[in-house]
Amino acid sequence: MQDNRGYIKGISGSVVTSTCFPNTSIYEVVYVGSERLLGEVVRVRRDVADIQVYEDTTGLQIGDHTIFTGELLSMKLGPGLLGQVLDGIGRPLERLGKKSPYISRGTHIDAVDDSEKWYFIPRLQRGDDVGPGDILGEVEEKGIKHFIMAPLAFRGKNSTISWIAPKGEYVVDDVICKIGETTVKMSQRWNIRTPRNVGRKLDLDKPFLTGTRILDVFFPLALGGTAVIPGGFGTGKTVTQQSIARWANADIVIYIGCGERGNEMTEVLEEFPSLTDVRRGIPLMDRMILIANTSNMPVAAREASIYLGMTIAEYYRDMGYNVAIIADSISRWAEALREISGRLEEMPGEEGYPAYLASRLARYYERAGNVVPLGSPQRNGSISVINAISPPGGDFSEPVTQSGLRLSGCFWALDKGLATKRHFPSINWAQSYSLYHENLDRYFTREISENWVPLREFALNILHDGKSLQEMVQIVGRDGLTEEEKWILKLSELINIFYLQQNAFDSNDAYCDPNRQLVMLNTLKLLDEEIRWALNSGALFEQIDSQFAFVADLMKLRSQNAEDYETSLISYITKLKEELSDLI
Ligand SMILES: Nc1ncnc2c1ncn2[C@@H]1O[C@H](COP(=O)(O)OP(=O)(O)OP(=O)(O)O)[C@@H](O)[C@H]1O
Q: Determine whether the shortest distance from the Cβ of 237 to ligand 1 is under 6 A.
A: yes
Q: Is residue 259 within 6 Å of ligand 1 at its C-beta?
A: no
CA of 234 to the centre of ligand 1 (A): 5
The residue out of 375, 400, 435 marking a domain boundary is 435
Residue 422 falls inside a structural domain: yes
Say if 442 falls within a structural domain: no
Q: What is the ipTM of this complex?
A: 0.96
**Confidence band, pLDDT 50/70/90 cuts, at residue 427:** very high
Contacts of 446 (CB under 8 A, 6+ apart): none
**Residue 63 in marked binding region:** no
**Does residue 178 sit in the same domain as residue 118?**
yes
Same domain membership, residue 301 and residue 273:
yes
Ligand 1 centroid – CA 233 distance (Å): 9
- Of the residues 266, 395, 424, 559, which should be mutated to test ligand 1's pocket, given the most ligand atoms within 8 Å of the CB? 424
Q: Is 349 annotated as a binding residue?
A: no
User: Measured in angstroms, how far is the CA atom of residue 499 from the centroid of ligand 1?
Assistant: 19
The reply to whether 148 falls in a domain is yes
Q: Ligand 1 atom 15: the closest Cα is on which residue?
A: 236
462: CB partners within 8 A, 6+ apart: 488, 491, 492, 495, 528
Instruction: Compute the mean pLDDT over every residue in the chain, rounded to the nearest whole number.
Output: 89
Q: Is 236 annotated as a binding residue?
A: yes
Residue 35 lies in a domain: yes
232 is in an annotated binding site: yes
Is the shortest distance between the CB of 78 and ligand 1 below 6 Å?
A: no
pLDDT value for 151: 92
The answer on pLDDT for 552 being more than 90 is: no
The answer to whether residue 176 is domain-embedded is yes
What is the β-pairing status of strands 288-293 and 282-283? unpaired
Contact 132, 182 (CB under 8 A): no
pLDDT at 233: 86
Residue 409 annotated as binding? Answer: no
In the reported structure, the alpha carbon of residue 572 is separated from the centroid of ligand 1 by a whole-number distance in angstroms of 32
Most ligand 1 atoms within 8 A of CB, residue of 239, 244, 266 to mutate? 239
- pLDDT reading at 469 higher than 90: yes
Residue-level pLDDT at 562? 65
What one-letter code names the amino acid at 448?
A: I
What is the domain-level CATH number for residue 42? 2.40.30.20
261 domain residue, yes or no: yes
Q: Which of 154, 186, 218 is the last residue of a domain?
A: 186
pLDDT confidence of 3, banded at 50, 70, 90?
Answer: low
The angle at the Cα of 233, spanning 353 to 505, to the nearest 5 degrees, equals: 130
Residue 292 reports pLDDT greater than 70: yes
Radius of gyration of the CA atoms of the chain, in A? 28
CATH of the domain at 495: 1.10.1140.10
CA 491/CA 230 separation, integer angstroms: 28
Exposure of 240 by Cβ count < 10 A (0-12 exposed, 13-18 middle, 19+ buried)? buried
| Centre of ligand 1 from the C-alpha of residue 257, in Å | 15
The Cα–Cα gap between 337 and 355 comes to: 11
Q: Which of 246, 363, 242 is nearest to 311 (CA)?
A: 363
Q: Cα separation of 579 and 571, whole Å? A: 12
Separation CA 384–CA 185 (nearest Å): 28
**Could you tell me if residue 90 is inside a domain?**
no
Q: Please choose from 213, 233, 238, 428 the residue to mutate so as to test ligand 1's pocket, defined by most ligand atoms within 8 A of CB.
A: 238
Which of these three, 400, 435, 470, is where a domain ends?
435
Together in a domain, 209 and 181? no
In the predicted structure, residue 405 carries a pLDDT above the cut 70: yes
Type of residue found at 529? E
Residues 146 and 206 in one domain: no
Question: Is 238 a pocket residue for ligand 1 (Cβ < 6 Å)?
Answer: yes
Q: Which amino acid is at 349?
A: G
Q: Tell me, what's the pLDDT at 156? A: 67
Q: Is residue 444 part of a domain?
A: no
Shared-domain flag, residues 289 and 259: yes
Q: What one-letter code names the amino acid at 196? A: R
Say if residue 39 is in the same domain as residue 118: no
In CATH, what number is assigned to the domain containing residue 361? 3.40.50.300
Question: 235 a known binding residue?
Answer: yes
What is the rounded CA–CA span in Å between residue 286 and residue 276?
A: 9
Ligand 1 contacts CB of residue 331 (under 6 A): no
In order, the DSSP letters of 29-62 are: EEEETTTTEEEEEEEEETTEEEEEESS--TT--T
Decide which of 353 and 570 is more confident. 353
Quote the ligand 1 centre to 431 CA distance (angstroms). Answer: 19
Ligand 1 pocket check for 230: Cβ under 6 Å? no
Please tell me whether residues 377 and 263 are part of one structural domain: yes
Question: Is there a single domain that holds both residue 424 and residue 485?
Answer: no
What's phi and psi for 125, nearest 5 deg?
A: -140, 170
Q: Are residues 118 and 65 in the same domain?
A: no
Tell me the C-alpha distance between 66 and 83, whole Å.
35
CA of 419 to the centre of ligand 1 (A): 8
From 251, 249, 373, select the one nearest 315 (Cα to Cα). Answer: 373
User: Do 152 and 246 share a domain, yes or no?
Assistant: no
**Is the pLDDT score of 78 beyond 50?**
yes
Do 141 and 286 have their domain in common?
no
Q: pLDDT digits over 241-288, tens only?
A: 889 988 999 999 999 988 777 777 777 778 888 888 777 788 889 999
Q: How far apart are CA 79 and CA 551, in angstroms?
A: 52
Residue 425 in contact with ligand 1 by CB distance below 6 A? yes
**Is 70 a known ligand-binding residue?**
no
Closest ligand 1 atom to 235 CA: 21
- Least trusted range by pLDDT, from 117-126, 158-167, 562-571: 562-571
C-alpha 83 – ligand 1 centre gap (Å): 25
Q: What is the separation of C-alpha 577 from the centre of its chain, rounded to a whole number of angstroms?
A: 44
Residue-range definition of the domain harbouring residue 292: 200-435
pLDDT of amino acid 2: 47
* 381 labeled part of a ligand binding site: no
% of the chain residues with pLDDT over 70? 98
Number of domains into which the chain is organized = 4
Task: Decide: helix, strand or coil at residue 367.
Answer: coil
Q: Which residues contact 452 (CB under 8 A, 6 or more apart)?
A: 217, 441, 444, 445, 514, 518
Q: Measured from the CB, is residue 233 less than 6 Å from ligand 1?
A: yes
Q: How far is the CA of 287 from the centre of ligand 1 (A)?
A: 24
Ligand 1 centre and the CA of 371: distance in Å?
34
**Cα end-to-end span (Å), the chain:** 94
The answer to whether 83 and 70 are in contact (CB under 8 A) is no
> Mapping DSSP to helix (H, G, I), strand (E, B) and coil, where does residue 245 land?
helix
Lowest-pLDDT range of 140-149, 275-284, 434-443: 275-284
504 lines ligand 1 (CB under 6 A): yes
Mean per-residue pLDDT for 144-168? 90
pLDDT at 1: 43
Residue 346, judged by CB atoms within 10 A of its CB (0-12, 13-18, 19+), counts as: middle
Question: Do 292 and 171 share a domain, yes or no?
Answer: no
Verify whether ligand 1 is closer than 6 Å to residue 510 (CB atom): no
